Structure 1
């Protein structure tokens, strides 16, 4: 998780991550130079939980912040990005892992991407981000207009090894113009497999202070 001035919704999101079922979670958070109460909230969680690790950094921007976390992560079976203001279903990570096991070979570099329930600040349902039959447009389509959201992504260890390999990394300046999830999707499409789950296992808050946005919404009632 990368944070920046997220005091309003941060605690609720951290709780949903720590309460994931069926998996063992290690939560790594990098704060990108917050000047509100975000740092105090993070310190409280780090003191309370052994599996919450905090890094405080200078403002680098969302793409660089997330990639710094990915590069410094400890080896694990799976890796996921998290926004600071969403709400995860208790089975978000477990469902993604089961989907990967079902749809891909164990030797594949795999990136799971899920759908999103868009909600407002009060958690009122607005829309689904992607249609059930969303079409993956491949490497070039992903480079030009990536439809997948980083906060839904779960990758396996094989893909993580390729992404964090120092010989294969782009310069960090690359992420001044391209956000982290666009790069991860492009790598997965080029060397591995991207699998899309039309079912949403999270709520994505759409509010004025959010630092990422949704470009397409599929209007649809619950």
Structure 2
């Protein structure tokens, strides 16, 4: 809502002379006789200008108006602050609820994928849980891709075991020709991370990349 000062086009600390000049200028601009075809709007604006000038040109009324305006402004600012805090709290709650809902849906899809169901089944299950179609498609695609990656990692275990057997055999042959060092096995163990550690790191990276949340 415009203040009386704004209606006259002056600042709140305007002098009486400035208020008087502003009133004359505004009155000439909005006089009905100078606004042919827009008399009704001009008449309303002209009346507001007259009312503003009547208060601001009187020292006593102006002081009362300034005091009331300052009080109302403080009340309005406090109300605005409370409304902003409530809105922010609601936004935070909505974000937390959405995150929890998303995590729940991902967990459901992961459970069905672990049971051997394909991507289409995952999509249908998510739709049955009142999941948005676009989100259901994204989750189903991501979970299916993650499941495929897990299966690929699991099938690589026999190959790793075979490679380890070849290493053991080679080491046994080499031991016939040289004396082993007591520190060699421990060093080799430290240099080569375990398969479980590599797999855990892979799954963690995939999970973070697909969903951005941890189970």
TM-score range, shorter-chain basis?
A: under 0.3
- Structure with the largest fraction of strand: 1
Larger Rg belongs to:
2
TM-score by length of 2: 0.20
- Structure with the largest fraction of helix: 2
TM-score by length of 1: 0.19
Q: Which has the higher contact order (CA 8 A, sep 6+)?
A: 1
